[in-house]
């Protein structure tokens, strides 16, 4: 079959692929511990599920909503921004999408022309680079290493900037590293973007999942000039345990937001109406469940991190947010005779039944990703198996 040049240059999402492989082994009866997906293990809070049930019962299902989202949901996003960003939004500054993932795609499709460049700090969430390629753009990587807490500096951006640079992507707290840029670091980076007329794409999706007294400051709150230059991506998946509902949103410059709505109108149409009603409740209803889940993630992080660092050859820095550990395993690979991280992760799965994700898809070929969005018993059992594997 002749497939498109486009699809031939794309990778399958490594997180989804790793999970699919692990699920197949599980279905075959293998004892698999899944640490692959960025999917909270909690149930969607009851008040949110009840809002969806009420929407179904009252027949709010037999119509398309506005492609860019229900006006009531846009207004809920605005209230949410007032609470957590300190400013509200006009309806034309918000677009609601099928997950934050589609908001990202619609953004790239709206602003990039052929060969336009997007600077992506590494390690980066798996889908960014391929989405840029899908619309003809070029990902350009600013390398963050474990030694610099996986952060990049303005000096690095200066080297990478060309007359094709259109966007700088920031994902703080980061998937996969959990690191958070400080306000001072963000101010410097934001001012750099403003000075060079580079758009900032701020993926804030983990902004409410921050631990141990760390703070998340949204870059858009640092100055009016930075705010004007920034499109924010956010959504309900991670904060409210709503990955299956597929509601994300983007916020910022009305012209770009309008273009993104146009892309949605010709591709997805609106996200599920029922899910939109649920999202209204998520954003404006009782927020105490968010804190309950955040505390649970924090406790898991604090329990599991020291144990991971006791696994021979594993070296993890302490994440400040999100729900992943991203240990460097270069020494462990050497001890086990592997030079390729993906082959190493496959061996771990085969030998221990612990499913993790290769760092290769995140632009970090000496690291692997473990999600702690799973129960503590599974996490403890997984670490025990990894330790036994490395000590063998
Ligand atoms: N951005 C980051 C950094 C993510 O980790 C994810 C999901 O894993 C997304 C965006 C997409 O989230 P969703 O499409 O579920 O809203």
Q: Give the pLDDT score at 151.
A: 96
**Tens of pLDDT along 80-134?**
999 999 999 999 999 999 999 999 999 999 999 999 999 999 999 989 999 999 9
Q: Give the pLDDT score at 62.
A: 87
**Tens of pLDDT along 285-312?**
999 999 999 999 999 999 999 999 999 9
241 C-alpha to ligand 1 centroid (Å):
12
CATH class for the region spanning 47-284: alpha beta
Q: What is the pTM of this model?
A: 0.96
The encoded tokens of residue 263 equal 């892309």
Average pLDDT over residues 315-324: 97
| % residues pLDDT > 70 (the chain) | 100
58 C-alpha to ligand 1 centroid (Å):
30
CATH annotation of 5-44+288-391 = 3.90.1150.10
**Tens of pLDDT along 272-290?**
999 999 999 999 999 999 9
42: pLDDT confidence band, cut at 50, 70 and 90?
A: very high
Pocket flag, ligand 1, residue 38 (CB < 6 Å) = yes
Average pLDDT over residues 188-207: 98
The encoded tokens of residue 108 equal 């790239």
Q: Give the pLDDT score at 349.
A: 94
Domain assignments of the chain as residue spans, ordered by start: 5-44+288-391, 47-284
Would you say residue 12 has pLDDT above 80?
A: no
- Give how far Cα 338 sits from Cα of 84, 260, 341, 346, Å: 45, 44, 7, 11
Number of CB atoms found within 10 A of residue 217's CB: 18
**Tens of pLDDT along 137-182?**
999 999 999 999 999 999 999 999 999 999 999 999 999 999 999 9
36 C-alpha to ligand 1 centroid (Å):
14
Enter the ipTM.
0.99
Q: What DSSP designation does 193 have?
A: H
Report the nearest atom of ligand 1 relative to the CA of 247.
Answer: 16
Would you say residue 38 has pLDDT above 90?
A: no
Would you say residue 20 has pLDDT above 90?
A: no
Residue of minimum CA distance from atom 8 in ligand 1? 38
101 C-alpha to ligand 1 centroid (Å):
6
The encoded tokens of residue 49 equal 């599920």
Pocket flag, ligand 1, residue 363 (CB < 6 Å) = no
Would you say residue 366 has pLDDT above 90?
A: yes
What's the rounded Cα separation, in Å, for the pair 260 and 243?
Answer: 21
What's the rounded Cα separation, in Å, for the pair 323 and 117?
Answer: 29
44: pLDDT confidence band, cut at 50, 70 and 90?
A: very high
- For the chain, the average pLDDT equals 96
The encoded tokens of residue 190 equal 């934001």
Using alpha carbons, select from 371, 357, 283, 256 the residue that is nearest to residue 319. Answer: 371
Q: Which of 45-54, 95-104, 353-362 has the lowest mean pLDDT?
A: 353-362
Q: Give the pLDDT score at 77.
A: 98
């Amino acid at each position: 079959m002749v497939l498109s040049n486009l699809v031939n240059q794309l990778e399958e999402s490594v997180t989804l692929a790793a999970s699919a492989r692990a699920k197949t082994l599980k279905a075959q009866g293998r004892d698999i511990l899944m640490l692959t997906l960025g999917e909270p293990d909690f149930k969607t809070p009851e008040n949110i599920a009840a809002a969806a049930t009420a929407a179904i019962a009252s027949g709010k299902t037999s119509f398309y909503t506005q492609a860019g989202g229900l006006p009531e949901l846009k207004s809920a996003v605005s209230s949410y921004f007032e609470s957590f960003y300190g400013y509200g939004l006009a309806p034309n500054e918000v677009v609601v999408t099928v997950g934050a993932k589609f908001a990202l795609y619609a953004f790239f499709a709206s602003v990039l022309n052929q060969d336009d460049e997007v600077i992506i700090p590494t390690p980066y969430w798996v889908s960014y680079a391929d989405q840029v390629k899908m619309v003809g753009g070029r990902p350009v990587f600013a390398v963050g290493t474990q030694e610099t807490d996986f952060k990049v500096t303005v000096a690095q951006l200066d080297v990478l900037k060309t007359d094709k640079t259109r966007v700088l992507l920031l994902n703080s707290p980061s998937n996969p590293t959990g690191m958070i840029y400080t306000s001072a670091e963000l101010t410097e980076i934001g001012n750099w973007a403003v000075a060079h007329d580079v758009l900032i794409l701020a993926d804030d999706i983990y902004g409410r999942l921050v631990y141990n007294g760390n703070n998340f400051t949204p870059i858009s709150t640092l100055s009016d000039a930075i705010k004007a230059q920034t499109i924010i991506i956010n959504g309900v998946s991670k904060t409210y345990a709503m990955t299956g509902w597929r509601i994300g949103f983007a916020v910022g410059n009305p012209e770009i937001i309008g273009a993104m709505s146009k892309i949605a109108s010709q591709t997805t149409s609106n996200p599920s109406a029922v899910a939109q009603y649920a999202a209204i409740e998520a954003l404006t209803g009782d927020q105490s469940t968010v804190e309950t889940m955040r505390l649970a993630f924090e406790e898991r992080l604090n329990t599991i991190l020291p144990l991971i660092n006791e696994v021979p050859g594993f070296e993890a820095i302490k994440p400040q947010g999100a729900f992943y550990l991203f240990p460097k395993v270069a020494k462990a690979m050497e001890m086990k005779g592997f030079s390729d991280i993906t082959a190493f992760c496959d061996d771990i799965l085969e030998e221990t039944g612990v499913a993790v994700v290769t760092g290769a898809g995140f632009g970090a070929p000496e690291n692997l990703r473990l999600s702690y969005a799973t129960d503590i018993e599974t996490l403890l059992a997984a670490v025990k198996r990894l330790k036994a594997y490395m000590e063998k």
